[in-house]
């Protein structure tokens, strides 16, 4: 996450329209008819946890959520809606990586492999690419202890930071994926500058293979018209000159037959001062590839290295979700029949709270795939979890008939830039789940949304205090993404000036 502070010059915002009441907004989200302009995306399901750049994994029927913040706090819950129990921090104190920011690591990415848990994290100085990615491990996610294994890569300064592609990237926002086809692990990183990079990890997953000259590929690059987009363009080490190319927070994911590269695009935070123009705030985007190494393309066929990226989730015009990002995916399993997209976002339903860094919330949605392209499902699908067993049984007949009539996913060759791979037949569970989704989503979504005003249960935890120093103490202005204020933002002819770029 890279915090960019945009201050608009003499931009007058009108916030005279109250945020839509939750119930009306739910109606809009599920398209049942409402005076509120229909929302483009379903509302976020509330996890009831304040968090930033979350990493959530499921292990032994529990959920573990990790957040940016001093020593990397983490939490446990038996389901995604909480309540979340504070388990402590990954690091005992500061990261052992000796650079500025070690007291406040960001953007953890946690995974389990061979009965060891890995927590990759970032250490960085605000507004720079003076950054490192480190990793900590533990055999016991519940009780620890974690061992800080230190630095994997560095940019700006530090070991091999002058070598390509460290010399052109920003070593934050780690994501690690083990290629299920051959067991090779890869680290992806990047934020602004030349965006997202990927290199193979060594067998112990704690070092990049051939660190001085890694076999790195550029996975995403937000090209801009009218400027020199060459990779090797040397930006000042301390600041990207114009705050552009706001691509970061990548997350690699595999779901046969596709490799997905999720990322966040836009301004991550610092909304309390002023909102960026509509559409310039965080949104969650994706591209896919038949190879973990790319090229990744979006739904229109645009390469992610040429500015592509299909938006899967973004701010809602109903004013309940603003700037979702820092996302990850939890895969479906026998108990949870849908993949889950989780992220942090700002709640804007309340005019006086929600936009500050510390107020970012963990949200999630179930996702479904059409022809291999993910989209967010409204509400809670009836067959989403094991706790819905009764519903599953009740819908079994229709689901089973759907299973027999369901067509297999279209083969991958719909994508002209990639080699076709055979699509596997859908599993019975996935098919049944899909069949029940359409009917169940609307009804169950309402009860989830009723908790929309519930505040985080972890408000006094270190997670929320960690960023206090970075927060503007002033209360957020009453600039709301109500339909009216969005229109005002949209139509404003006034130029936005970037007066400051800092990293949170």
Ligand X SMILES: *[C@@H]1O[C@H](CO)[C@@H](O)[C@H](O)[C@H]1NC(C)=O
Contact region with ligand X (CB under 6 A), list: 59-67, 131-139, 145-153, 346-354: 346-354
What is the distance between the alpha carbons of residues 263 and 328, in angstroms, rounded to a whole number?
Answer: 9
How do strand 217-220 and strand 496-501 relate by DSSP bridges?
unpaired
- Measured from the CB atom, the residue of 7 and 353 that comes closer to ligand X is 353
d(CA 454, CA 305): 40
Per CB under 6 A, does 24 bind ligand X? Answer: no
| Catalytic residue flag (residue 53) | yes
Strands of 373-416 (E only): list them.
Answer: 373-376
Among 53, 151, 240, 358, the one annotated catalytic: 53
Q: Is 427 in the site for ligand X (CB under 6 A)?
A: no
Specify the residue, 353 or 406, whose C-beta has the smaller distance to ligand X: 353
Which residue, 80 or 153, has its beta carbon nearer to ligand X?
80
Please identify, using beta-carbon distances, which residue of 163 and 335 lies nearer to ligand X: 335
Distance of CA 400 to the CA centre of its chain: 34
Residue 78 C-beta: closest distance to ligand X, Å: 5
Q: Which of 16, 233, 398, 453 binds ligand X (CB under 6 A)?
A: 453
Q: What are the tokens at 107?
A: 């953007």
DSSP letter at 491 equals H
- How far apart, in whole angstroms, are the C-alpha atoms of residue 293 and residue 216? 9
Q: Report in angstroms how near the CB of residue 79 gets to ligand X at its nearest.
A: 4
Instruction: Lay out the site mask for ligand X across 387-426 (x = CB under 6 A, - = otherwise).
Output: x---------------------------------------
Q: What is the Cα–Cα distance from 177 to 303, expressed in whole angstroms?
A: 20
Site for ligand X contains 353 (CB under 6 A): yes
**CA separation for the pair 129, 149 (Å, rounded):** 21
* Residue 1 contacts residue 250 (beta carbons within 8 Å): no
Binding of ligand X by 233 (CB under 6 A) = no
**Tokens at residue 395, please?**
């819908």
* H or E segment to which residue 247 belongs: strand 247-255
Distance from C-alpha of 330 to C-alpha of 110, rounded to nearest angstrom: 11
- At CA 136, angle to CA 132 and CA 139, rounded to 5? 165
Of the candidate spans 84-92, 193-201, 288-296, 347-355, the one that interacts with ligand X by CB under 6 A turns out to be 347-355
Distances (CA, A) of 308 to 197, 223, 245, 286, 429: 15, 9, 12, 9, 32
Q: CA 50 to CA 345: how far, in whole Å?
A: 9
Among positions 16, 18, 59, 78, the unique one binding ligand X when judged by CB under 6 A: 78
Stretch of 37-45, 77-85, 217-225, 317-325 lying at the interface with ligand X (CB under 6 A): 77-85
Nearest approach in angstroms of CB 380 to ligand X is: 8
Candidates 66-74, 78-86, 238-246, 420-428: pick the segment binding ligand X (CB under 6 A): 78-86
Residues written for the chain: 504
- If one counts every other C-beta atom within 10 angstroms of the C-beta of residue 387, the result is 12
Asked if 365 touches ligand X (CB under 6 A), the answer is no
DSSP state at residue 472: -
Nearest distance, CB of residue 81 and ligand X, angstroms:
5
Q: Does 16 bind ligand X (CB under 6 A)?
A: no
- Footprint (CB under 6 A) of ligand X, residues 250-289: none
Active-site residue among 104, 130, 151, 248?
A: 248
Contacting residue, 350, 375, 400, 478, with ligand X by CB under 6 A: 350
Decide if 206 contacts 135 (C-beta within 8 A): yes
Strand order of the sheet with strand 85-89? 55-59, 62-66, 73-77, 85-89
Instruction: Give the nearest distance from C-beta 285 to ligand X in angstroms.
Output: 29
Nearer Cβ to ligand X, position 106 or 345? 345
Segments of 37-166 assigned E as strands: 45-50, 55-59, 62-66, 73-77, 85-89, 106-113, 116-124, 131-138, 147-155
Q: Does 238 bind ligand X (CB under 6 A)?
A: no
- Active-site residue 248, yes or no? yes
Interacting span for ligand X (CB under 6 A) from 29-37, 311-319, 345-353, 405-413: 345-353
Radius of gyration of the chain (CA): 22
Stretch that binds ligand X, among 27-35, 76-84, 399-407, 484-492 (CB under 6 A): 76-84
Least distance in angstroms from the C-beta of 453 to ligand X? 4
Task: Report the interface residues with ligand X, using CB under 6 A.
Answer: 78-79, 81, 350, 352-353, 387, 453
Enzyme catalytic residues: 53, 248
């Amino acid at each position: 996450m890279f915090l960019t502070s945009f201050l608009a010059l003499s931009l007058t915002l009108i916030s005279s329209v109250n945020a839509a009441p939750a119930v009306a907004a739910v109606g809009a989200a599920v398209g049942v008819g409402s005076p509120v302009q229909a929302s483009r995306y379903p509302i976020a399901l509330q996890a009831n946890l304040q968090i930033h750049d979350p990493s959530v994994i499921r292990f032994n029927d529990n959920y573990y959520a990790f957040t940016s913040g001093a020593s990397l706090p983490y939490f446990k819950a038996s389901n995604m809606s909480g309540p979340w129990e504070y388990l402590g921090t990954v690091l005992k104190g500061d990261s052992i990586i000796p650079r500025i920011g070690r007291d406040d690591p960001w953007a953890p990415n946690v995974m389990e492999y061979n009965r060891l848990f890995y927590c990759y994290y970032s250490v960085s100085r605000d507004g720079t690419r003076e950054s490192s990615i480190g990793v900590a491990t533990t055999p016991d996610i519940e009780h620890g202890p974690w061992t800080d294994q230190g630095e994997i890569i560095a940019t700006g300064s530090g070991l091999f930071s002058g070598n390509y592609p460290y010399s052109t990237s920003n070593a934050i926002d780690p994501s690690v994926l083990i290629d299920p086809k051959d067991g090779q692990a890869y680290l992806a990183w990047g934020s602004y500058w030349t965006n997202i990079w990927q290199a193979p990890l060594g067998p112990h997953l704690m070092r990049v293979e051939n660190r001085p000259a890694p076999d790195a590929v550029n996975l995403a690059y937000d090209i801009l018209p009218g400027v020199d987009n060459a990779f090797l363009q040397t930006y000042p080490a301390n600041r990207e000159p114009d705050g552009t190319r706001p691509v970061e927070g990548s997350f690699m994911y595999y779901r046969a037959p596709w490799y997905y590269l999720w990322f966040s695009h836009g301004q991550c935070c610092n909304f309390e001062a002023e909102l960026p123009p509509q559409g310039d705030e965080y949104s969650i985007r994706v591209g896919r590839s038949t190879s973990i190494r790319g090229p990744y393309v979006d739904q229109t066929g645009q390469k992610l290295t040429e500015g592509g990226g299909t938006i899967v989730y973004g701010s809602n015009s109903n004013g309940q979700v603003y700037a979702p990002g820092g996302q990850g995916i939890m895969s479906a399993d026998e108990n949870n029949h849908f993949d889950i997209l989780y992220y942090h976002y700002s709640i804007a339903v309340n005019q006086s709270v929600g936009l500050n860094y510390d107020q970012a919330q963990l949200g999630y949605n179930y996702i479904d795939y059409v022809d291999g392209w993910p989209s967010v499902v409204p509400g809670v699908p009836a067959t989403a979890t094991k706790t819905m067993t009764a519903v599953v049984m009740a819908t079994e007949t229709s689901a089973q008939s759907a299973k027999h009539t369901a067509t297999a996913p279209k083969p991958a060759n719909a994508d002209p830039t990639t080699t076709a791979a055979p699509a596997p037949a859908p599993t019975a569970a996935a098919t049944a789940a899909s069949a029940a989704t359409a009917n169940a989503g609307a009804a169950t979504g309402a009860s989830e949304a009723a908790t929309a005003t519930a505040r985080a249960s972890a408000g006094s935890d270190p997670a929320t205090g960690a960023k206090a120093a970075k927060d503007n103490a002033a209360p957020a202005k009453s600039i709301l993404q109500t339909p009216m204020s969005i229109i005002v933002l949209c139509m404003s002819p006034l130029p936005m000036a970037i007066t400051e770029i800092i990293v949170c």
